[in-house]
Chains A and B, each alone.
Chain A
Amino acid sequence: KNQVEQSPQSLIILEGKNCTLQCNYTVSPFSNLRWYKQDTGRGPVSLTIMTFSENTKSNGRYTATLDADTKQSSLHITASQLSDSASYICVVSSIKAAGNKLTFGGGTRVLVKP
Chain B
Amino acid sequence: GAVVSQHPSRVICKSGTSVKIECRSLDFQATTMFWYRQFPKQSLMLMATSNEGSKATYEQGVEKDKFLINHASLTLSTLTVTSAHPEDSSFYICSARGISGDFYEQYFGPGTRLTVT
The residue of chain A having its C-beta at the shortest distance from the C-beta of B105 within the complex is A46
B32 within 8 A of A: yes
How would you classify the secondary structure of chain A's contact residues: helix, strand, loop or mixed?
strand
Q: Are B106 and A102 in contact (CB under 8 A)?
A: yes
Across the interface, which residues of B come within 8 angstroms of A1, CB to CB?
Answer: none
A44-B103 contact, Cβ under 8 Å, with A99-B32, A99-B97: no
Across the interface, which residues of B come within 8 angstroms of A36, CB to CB?
Answer: 108
How many angstroms from the CA of A43 to the CA of B110 in the assembled complex?
4
B60 within 8 A of A: no
How would you classify the secondary structure of chain B's contact residues: helix, strand, loop or mixed?
strand
Q: Are A41 and B91 in contact (CB under 8 A)?
A: yes
Interface size class of B (residues with CB under 8 A): 20 to 34
Q: Are B113 and A41 in contact (CB under 8 A)?
A: yes
Q: Are B44 and A89 in contact (CB under 8 A)?
A: yes
How many angstroms from the CA of A45 to the CA of B95 in the assembled complex?
11
Q: Are A43 and B43 in contact (CB under 8 A)?
A: no
Q: Are B106 and A106 in contact (CB under 8 A)?
A: no
Across the interface, which residues of B come within 8 angstroms of A102, CB to CB?
Answer: 46, 106
Q: Are A42 and B110 in contact (CB under 8 A)?
A: yes
How many angstroms from the CA of A27 to the CA of B42 in the assembled complex?
20
Q: Which 3 A-B pairs have the closest CB atoms?
A: A43-B108, A104-B43, A44-B108
Q: Which residues of chain A have a CB within 8 Å of any CB of chain B?
A: 32, 36, 41-46, 49, 89, 99-100, 102, 104-107, 109
